[in-house]
Amino acid sequence: MYHTVAEKILLKHAPGMKELAPGQFIECRIDLIMVHEQLGGRIHVEYEKLGLDRVWDPEKIFFILDHWIPAPTINAAQMHQDCREFAKKYNFIHDMGINKGICHQVLPEMGFARPGMLIVGSDSHTTTYGAFNCLSTGIGATDVSVVFATGNLWFKVPESFKISLSGELSKGVMSKDLVLKLIGDLTTKGAIYKSLEFHGADCLSIDSRMTVSNMVVEAGAKFGVFLPDKTLEKWLEHRTKEPYQIVMPDKEAIYEKTMEYDLSELEPVVAKPSSPGNLDSIKNVEGIEIDQAFLGSCTNGRMEDLQIAAKILKGKTVNPKTRLIITPASQEIYEQALNKGLIEIFIKAGAVFTHSTCGACIGGHLGVLGEEETCVSSTNRNFVGRMGAPSSKVYLASPATVAASALHGKITDPREVL
């Protein structure tokens, strides 16, 4: 039988199985599991129910605190204490603490995501690692406990959609615009349980691909996996010495659906409140006044994102009616931004530059919205109350659109300022 990337990787991880097909339930070996604050929130409670005094393999657990760091409340501090206690009790080896950044950026930066792997994590945006030609997806606390105990997890083999890309993004258009368009086209339920397989992405940087894989879950997808290429191999050279095997689909693989996007035809778009699928063209929302612009998160807090913002903001000042908050996706990116002089540009423009955390994206800290406030944000979700007060409104957009909007105090087409 012929297989998609998802089918190939799942088959490789299903002991004793020679063949599989979409819809089938299988048990797979897990290569790596990522956990964050959920460890102290729910996982420890569930895991203790099993009465085990060890975990299956402490080498294969990646533990990081990122959502509320450093702890902004006593509750968060207690949650961190519970996490640390668990990590110590079960001898976790890869304990990243609070000073590395956001899980989905730090894990690949440290070379933990490689082609062909099967990775799960206690966070829905675990799909991000699909940019590295591996399968990765989010699971809940009980599933995490099953993996901690056995190293295995049940999966339903997904059908795959082939997303065929061509051309190059034009000036002021970013991969965020591509993925928002894709989610709008699919709708937020259009890819439930599916594996999205991206072909023809040669022109997209790794940063750009991560943004796309990150947000496939907003269309309901289980995986968002890119085909390997030279760009990926070059990226991995600097990140890992571990061997890996790239995974290509069979030419005859069967896809439930094929969608084609010519990148050169894309334009800046937004997702209006209160769904990532509420797609609209920038032209239809231009001029809407904003109280806050937020640039950051696991979706768009990478160097490429900070660089375009710096290009737009250099020598200029954020509109006095607007707050611009910039949060890098990792402390490594923080350091790069520092060395390249970007932070100086941001501060001189009147932005607030924070350490790396999930912070504002989840309405946790460092940029919570008040009642009736409007924010344009480079994050992934604009659900009611996601970034703060339930009456606040969030427009999801690219980093370029966020920076341009901060400059004018209203939603602005970035092509006007580039």
Partner 1 sequence: MEQIEGFAYILGDDINTDDIVPSHTLTMRDPKEMAKFTLEFVDANFVNNIKKGNIIIAGENFGTGSSREEAVNVFKILGIKAIIAKSFARIYFRNLINKGIPGITLDWDDKMFSNEDQIEISLQRGEIVNLTKKKKVNFVKIPEFLTNILKEGGILNQLKKKLYN
Instruction: Give the nearer residue to partner 1 in terms of CB position, either 2 or 154.
Output: 154
For position 160 contacting partner 1 by CB under 8 A, the verdict is: no
Q: Which C-beta is closer to partner 1: that of 158 or that of 200?
A: 158
Counting contacts by CB under 8 A, is residue 21 touching partner 1?
A: no
According to the binding rule CB under 8 A, does residue 75 interact with partner 1?
yes
Q: Which of 149, 254, 259, 288 binds partner 1 (CB under 8 A)?
A: 149
Residues 260-289 that bind partner 1 (CB under 8 A): 275
Distance CA 110, CA 307 (A): 22
Nearest alpha carbon to residue 270 among 102, 393, 365: 393
Nearer to partner 1 by Cβ, of 139 and 324: the residue is 139
Binding of partner 1 by 70 (CB under 8 A)? no
DSSP secondary structure of 247-297: ----TT---SEEEEEEGGG---EEE-TT-TT-EEEHHHHTT-B-SEEEEET
Q: Which is nearer to partner 1, 15 or 140 (CB)?
A: 140
Contacts of residue 2, defined as CB under 8 A and 6 or more positions apart, other chains included, come to 250, 251, 252, 253, 254
Size of the site for partner 1 (CB under 8 A): 48
Question: By CB under 8 A, which span of 187-195, 296-304, 314-322, 348-356 interacts with partner 1?
Answer: 187-195
Residue 134's beta-bridge partner residues? Answer: none
Of 72 and 409, CB closest to partner 1: 72
Q: How many angstroms separate the CA atoms of 240 and 318, rounded?
A: 39
Using the rule CB under 8 A, which residue among 118, 146, 186, 329 binds partner 1? 146
Q: How far is the CB of 247 from partner 1 (least distance, A)?
A: 22
User: Exactly one of 281, 385, 416, 418 binds partner 1 (CB under 8 A); which one?
Assistant: 385
Which CB sits closer to partner 1, 297 or 401? Answer: 297
Q: What are the DSSP calls for 124-174, one per residue?
A: GGGGGGGGGTSEEEE--HHHHHHHHHHSEEEEEPPPEEEEEEES-PPTT--
Which CB, 43 or 295, lies closer to partner 1? 43
DSSP 347-376: HHTT-EE--S-SGGGGTSSSS-B-TT-EEE
Nearer to partner 1, 79 or 324 (CB): 79
Could you tell me what percentage of the chain is helix, strand and coil, using 3-state DSSP and rounding each to the nearest 5? 35, 20, 45
Pairing of strands 118-121, 32-35: parallel
- Residue 320 in contact with partner 1, rule: CB under 8 A: no
* Using rule CB under 8 A, residue 390 touches partner 1: yes
Q: Does 188 bind partner 1 (CB under 8 A)?
A: yes
Is residue 246 within the footprint of partner 1 (CB under 8 A)? no
Considering the rule CB under 8 A, would residue 338 count as an interface residue with partner 1? no
CA 108 centroid distance within chain: 11
Cα–Cα distance measured from residue 22 to residue 273, given in angstroms and rounded to the nearest whole number: 34
Among 1, 21, 73, 89, binds partner 1 (CB under 8 A): 73
CA angle 336, 216, 140 (to 5 degrees): 95
Could you say whether residue 42 binds partner 1 (CB under 8 A)?
A: yes
Closest CA to 63 of 29, 110, 27, 28: 110
Element (H, E) at 400: helix 399-408
φ, ψ (nearest 5 deg) of residue 356: -80, 125
Question: For residues 213-232, which are near partner 1 according to CB under 8 A?
Answer: 220, 222
Residue 170 binding partner 1, by CB under 8 A: no
Position 17 contacts partner 1 (CB under 8 A): no
Task: By CB under 8 A, tell whether 41 contacts partner 1.
Answer: yes
According to the binding rule CB under 8 A, does residue 95 interact with partner 1?
no
Q: How far is the CB of 140 from partner 1 (least distance, A)?
A: 4
Q: Note whether 327 and 359 are within 8 A (CB).
A: yes
The residue length of the chain stands at 418
- Among positions 311, 362, 409, 415, the unique one binding partner 1 when judged by CB under 8 A: 362
Region near partner 1 per CB under 8 A, out of 138-146, 167-175, 178-186, 197-205? 138-146
- Listed in sequence order, the residues at least 6 apart from 89 whose beta carbon sits closer than 8 Å to its beta carbon are none
29 binds partner 1 (CB under 8 A): no
Among 4, 105, 122, 299, binds partner 1 (CB under 8 A): 122
- Which residues contribute to the site for partner 1 (CB under 8 A)? 25, 38, 41-42, 46, 49-52, 68, 73, 75-76, 78-79, 121-124, 126, 137-143, 145-146, 149-150, 154, 188-189, 192-193, 220, 222, 275, 362-364, 381, 383-386, 390
